[in-house]
Amino acid sequence: MFTFEAAKYPTASGVYIMKGEQGTVFYVGKAKNLRSRLRSYFSEHGDSRPQIQFLLKRVCDIETIVTDTEKEALILENTLIKKYRPRYNINLRDDKTYLSLRLDPREEFPMLQLVRRVRRDGALYFGPYASSTAVRATLKEIYRIFPLRRHPFETCRRRTRPCLYYQIGQCSGPCHGKISAADYRRLVDGALALLSGRETEVVAALRRQMTVAAERMAFEEAARLRDQVRAIEQTVERQKVVESGGGDQDVIGLHREGGEVEIAILFVREGKVIDRRSYNLEWRLDEEELLSTFLQRFYGREVCIPDRVLLPFLPEGSEVLADWLGEQRGKKVQVLAPQRGARRELVALAARNAEESFRERGSRREARQGVLEEIATRLQLSRVPHRIECFDISNVQGRFSVGSMAVLTDGEPDKAAYRHFRIRSVEGSDDYASLYEVLRRRLERGVREEMLPDFILMDGGKGQLTVVCTVLDELGLAGRIDVAGIAKSRVMANVRGKVVERSEERFFLPGRKNPVNLRQGSPALFMLERLRDEAHRFAITHHRKLRRSSTLGSVLEEIPGIGEKRRKALLKHFGSLKAIQAATLDELRAMPGLPAGLAERLFAAFQERKSS
């Protein structure tokens, strides 16, 4: 039992780390005054939040790190949360970086790229786009109006003729000299203006060009410019202007009900709402602390940071947060809580979006709960499964054997909890032994961290079910975790062997001879099939990645003149095997210490591998 002694802790600003047995990090927090903040947890009245009481019962040690300023504490807290992923800190369930559009104006013929990381590399970034559908729709409009190149310049140049996009008028063909650099630059300027929200400026310029073309009787060119103007006007009509000249803003709305908090973000770019994202948080923090922590987690990733962040209220330390965001962006960022006017209306709109998202999520949650209850009844589980894990093994003739774990939390894919396992103790193709190793490692760690599943679904039949039951018995977990195996449907023929039919998916349960069949097309069957398919997809994807890396590495090893030192030098210079493969001949020749002849052999080897 941990005993708190206030005098042991400093009064300076910094970060505190709450740890359990064996040093497991449960929670990371920051404070302006560490002693005062920690005392609030262990005061006579204590922290009334139920999850805090649950946390404190498990704390065995508290470590502190002193910083010079609050901003340093904020940055350090964010770094440590990313490193340890503590169980009791806010976890954004879709913890991913959004898609953005990147264009580097320093290139001779710039192209638009879809990226997830926003780097400070001198390029221009537009977004974020919460869905690939939204960003691809935007790209489709831009390519229709301004036909920029689609593929890497060197790749297209090696082709004997322009690509298909050139044939259909959605690429201007700079790689084959079909457009001058000056004319291409005008296309780039138009695309940048359109992405920046300056449609009026683009339309005016195109109308001037159309008039000039008509005066010199270049009617085909004038008609093309006319079509571009119409396409832009149609695109603009579909966008809702919410604030003239409003610039880039992220607007945060918050709705709290029944111990849950829904946060909605409206992405406003050049005065237009381009997208919305919402998060459901079950962590019952004080609203100020919750909002501050959420903003750190959201903007702690490589995302586009706007000119302003509009909030329903200013949490403590908002000035520090604004400074931190400004450093991340390389330009001043305002963190505001507007009290009147158009910006206040935007915050109210975001709050209504948060409330509506909460209602929608509640309806979906009730539907998922009904499906989980059906699964518990049909598969004779001891309780409704809050967390379901599914495991799969993938290998090719015993090589690159990997295991995968896909997870459903409350009936939804929890991709942040997915895990890969490199098989360590098994040689050759032995799926049962590999599965035993994966399950043993997963459950031993689960016991240490008190994070066990309610239900394990095995991709397979009785054999796989026997393996998981063996592991549960050895770890003393039998009866605490429900298990079942899902076997793929069998192909059956009638007595004449002519009509082929497919049986239903079968579920094998411990101690039961005959399998259980769920109703074909039922939501329960669909949920479990989707989880099984996710585990299989996750294993196959990782397996292919390992094979690709191994094959690329073998190419380096097979080329005479490239030994261990030169391989390390290549990796250090280019950063990865994939980057070496993608390098042009000129880039390879430009590498210090790599002879021209060796660069040519290396380039030829990779080209041969691509064509094979």
**How far apart (Å, rounded) are the C-alpha atoms in residues 382 and 377?**
9
pLDDT band at 285 (very low <50, low <70, confident <90, very high): low
CB-side neighbour CA atoms (13 Å) of 562: 22
Name the 3-class secondary structure at 11.
Answer: coil
Q: pLDDT category, 197, cuts 50, 70, 90? A: low
Give residue 471's pLDDT band: very low, low, confident or very high (50, 70, 90).
very high
Angle, vertex CA 165, rays to CA 162 and CA 166, nearest 5:
45
Classify residue 508 by burial, with Cβ atoms within 10 Å: 0-12, 13-18, 19+. Answer: buried
Q: Could you tell me which residues are beta bridge partners of residue 399?
A: 396
What is the H or E stretch that residue 609 is in? helix 596-611
490 φ, ψ (degrees, to nearest 5): -100, 150
Is the confidence at residue 237, as pLDDT, over 60?
Answer: no
Q: How many CA atoms lie within 13 A of 355 on its CB side?
A: 6
Domains within the chain, CATH numbers bracketed: 6-84 (3.40.1440.10), 99-237 (no CATH), 249-359 (3.30.420), 387-542 (3.30.420.340), 559-611 (1.10.150.20)
> Nearest 5°: phi and psi at 375?
-60, -45
Averaged pLDDT of the chain:
81
pLDDT at residue 34 tops 70: yes
Range picked from 123-132, 299-308, 318-327, 389-398 for highest mean pLDDT? 318-327
Q: Is 476 helix (H, G, I), strand (E, B) or coil?
A: coil
Give 474-499 pLDDT, tens digit per residue: 999 988 999 999 987 655 555 555 55
Residues 6+ apart with CB under 8 A from 19: 25, 26, 59, 60, 61, 62, 63
pLDDT at 217: 85
User: Which tens digit of pLDDT belongs to each residue from 421-456?
Assistant: 888 777 767 778 888 999 999 999 888 888 899 999
Please tell me the pTM assigned to this model: 0.59
Q: Which of 459, 477, 469 is nearest to 391 (CA)?
A: 459
Q: What is the pLDDT of residues 312-336, one digit of tens each?
A: 999 888 888 899 888 888 889 999 9
Percent of the chain with pLDDT over 90: 18
The dihedral formed by the CA atoms of 580, 581, 586 and 588, expressed in degrees to the nearest 10: 40
Q: What is the pLDDT of residue 612?
A: 52
Confidence of residue 200 (pLDDT cuts 50, 70, 90): confident
Asked if the model's pLDDT at residue 371 lies above 80, the reply is: yes
- Residue 318's pLDDT is 87
341 HSE (CA, 13 A, CB side): 9
Beta-carbon contacts of 267 under 8 Å, excluding residues fewer than 6 positions away, are 127, 128, 130, 250, 273, 274, 275, 276, 277, 306
Contact 250, 265 (CB under 8 A): yes
